[in-house]
Amino acid sequence: MKKLKAKLRWTIVVMAVGFAVCGAGPLVTALAGERVIQARQRDAQAVESAGQASEPARKAVESAGPLIGQAGQAAEETTAAQAPQHAQQVKRLLIKDAMVIYGNGEPPFGPANISIEDGLIARVGRVPRDWTPDAVIDASGKYVMPGIINGHIHLQDERAGIPQPIQYELNLYLAAGATTIRDVGSDWTKAKEWRAQSASHKLVASRLVLYERIWASKGAHTAELIRQGVRYAKEQGVDGLKLFGMDRDLAEALMDEAKKQGLRTAVHIAVDETTARDWAELGVTSIEHFYGVADAALDGIQNFPPEHNANNEIHRFGRAGELYVQPNLNREKLSAVLDLMVRNKVFWCPTLSIYVASRDLIRAQNQPWFKDYLHPTLEEYFLPDLQHHGSYFLGWTNTQEVRWKKNYQVWMDALKEFDLKGGLITVGDDAGFIYQIYGFGQVHELELLEEAGFHPLEVIKMATVNGAKLLGLEDKLGRVRQGFIADLLVVNGNPVENLRLLNPYGTDVFTYDGKAINNYSPIMPGDPKVKVERGGGIEWTIKEGIPYHVPTLMKEVKAMVSEARAMRTKK
């Protein structure tokens, strides 16, 4: 999200710490390529261990009765002696009898066993006889998929100057299955410290990858100052650069220096001289949101009325929602821009979920998880107030919503076209603004990508394999593959059947006689054994082999929220 009044408050603190690649910790570098096995071999092992590998995946869900444990409550069913401890490192961890979603769009397979040793996936398939696990997760009836790589987040320990514990956000992202999060703009000094703590497992957090704005700290109005700033950012240890729209000559200098320094880039294009065409030509790594793509497809410029003020967010967000439906949007030009992005390997991180309030405000303001999980700091920040970025809902009209709805249709079509041309879409939620809570926005992003026309397996690929490519970590992350970092999710149910199962709040599950079944099953109306229960959720988010128990994380979040609310009432 663009801060209109860019606060260049980055404090310069020199910490001579040479972090491992993207702050991913020593395991990343220790990873050995020779342990990687071929997909065929893996499948063969799975079949071997499964006995009945041809049994439909649905059967596994049908046997998932006991898994309807409430997301959001501690579930201590797993055998106490053998189950792992929340947030405790385990040398050898076994995930038993899981259906596996590999990550690259292949159909699920299993049941299979996944052996994890020293934070790496040691084997997928049969457990070697001489290999004894220190802890076991019984995943029968559950699905295991790679950890989600969230490509667009902001680390926030305050909103509008009011403190909010960083652990609130960190817990929520882990609970939503994000094992890696790419921060695209926050307090650099703090973020750097959190990245180090997360890498050394002293902080309960996803792996942090930091694309920051400190390149602008030298002053960014000349090419030379920008080059100095980029070099400074590199010295400081950023993983990449977060950019905003700027004039073409400055963008050229910046991109040239970023390439020299080997830094990846993420751009939020504003209504500016440069559009997606410029940034794609200059070889930016990723384009965030939708701005700049539609702008590059206009015959002429945006049709803003004379009183339009780009510093007024009602004007800015209201009319941003009209961009794709402007009469001078040229579909051929749009296709040409998408072609250029594909040719130059530009990722698109659309963050569809952060704008949905614009097309459906009442939904956005009444999400059921607000009751227990909305921190009062964030709640206050969301209230309509033009001083708060993204809180522009003052007298929001139906006409504005209708335009945004139509805008989404064209935007989603463009995403589909981009994918069909070979472009790579990634998942990001940009939460902490516009009624989106961290992680909850991420699951909605997956839902919206399905709405854009993608199969849930393709959506999962965007959240895993594509995310790893975005960060240049595709040889270590994003797949349930031997030798890869053990970033895995143990999901209560099959997310390919319903992406909503990945919501940390859980979701409605159709049950018969206490067992979850597909809601298209031939059930007679009036059958008393039919119930709807809250189920789903991720049971364990495993980051670098460390298991985090999601119901425990959510319990902690709930406690943080009630405590903050109680403090407020006292005042």
Which residues are near Zn ion by CB under 5 A?
1, 430
Tokens in use for 418? 């981009």
Do strands 178-183 and 207-212 pair parallel, antiparallel, or not at all (unpaired)? parallel
**Angle at which helices 166-175 and 188-199 pack, to 10 degrees?**
50
Contact 355, 448 (CB under 8 A): no
Nearer of residues 234 and 289 to Zn ion, judged by Cβ: 289
Q: How far apart are CA 401 and CA 407, in angstroms?
A: 10
Q: How far is the CB of 101 from Zn ion (least distance, A)?
A: 28
Q: How far is the CB of 430 from Zn ion (least distance, A)?
A: 4
Q: How far apart are CA 16 and CA 86, in angstroms?
A: 32
Nearer of residues 102 and 355 to Zn ion, judged by Cβ: 355
Nearer of residues 419 and 430 to Zn ion, judged by Cβ: 430
CB-count exposure of residue 118 (10 Å: 0-12, 13-18, 19+): middle
Nearer of residues 192 and 289 to Zn ion, judged by Cβ: 289
Locus of tokens 């029968």 = 140
Locus of tokens 């049908």 = 62
Q: Which residue is nearest to Zn ion (CB)?
A: 1
Q: How far is the CB of 104 from Zn ion (least distance, A)?
A: 27
**Angle at which helices 166-175 and 550-570 pack, to 10 degrees?**
150
Nearer of residues 1 and 136 to Zn ion, judged by Cβ: 1
Q: How far is the CB of 195 from Zn ion (least distance, A)?
A: 18
Least Cα distance to 365 among 376, 377, 379 occurs for 379
Q: How far is the CB of 244 from Zn ion (least distance, A)?
A: 10
Nearer of residues 154 and 234 to Zn ion, judged by Cβ: 154
Check residue 219 and report its DSSP letter: -
Least Cα distance to 68 among 81, 77, 58 occurs for 77
Contact 469, 347 (CB under 8 A): yes
Q: How far is the CB of 362 from Zn ion (least distance, A)?
A: 24
Q: How far is the CB of 192 from Zn ion (least distance, A)?
A: 19
Nearer of residues 1 and 94 to Zn ion, judged by Cβ: 1
Contact 538, 72 (CB under 8 A): no
Nearer of residues 1 and 410 to Zn ion, judged by Cβ: 1
Nearer of residues 150 and 400 to Zn ion, judged by Cβ: 150
Nearer of residues 187 and 458 to Zn ion, judged by Cβ: 187
Check residue 218 and report its DSSP letter: G
Q: How far apart are CA 550 and CA 533, in angstroms?
A: 18
What SS3 state is found at 469?
helix
Point out which residues pair with 207 in neighbouring strands: 180
Q: How far is the CB of 266 from Zn ion (least distance, A)?
A: 9
* Measured CA distances, 61 to 509, 517, 519, 541 (Å): 11, 7, 12, 20
Q: How far apart are CA 479 and CA 486, in angstroms?
A: 9
Q: How far is the CB of 385 from Zn ion (least distance, A)?
A: 19
Q: How far is the CB of 28 from Zn ion (least distance, A)?
A: 25
Nearer of residues 1 and 93 to Zn ion, judged by Cβ: 1
Q: How far is the CB of 443 from Zn ion (least distance, A)?
A: 18
Q: Which residues contact 129 (CB under 8 A, 6 or more apart)?
A: none
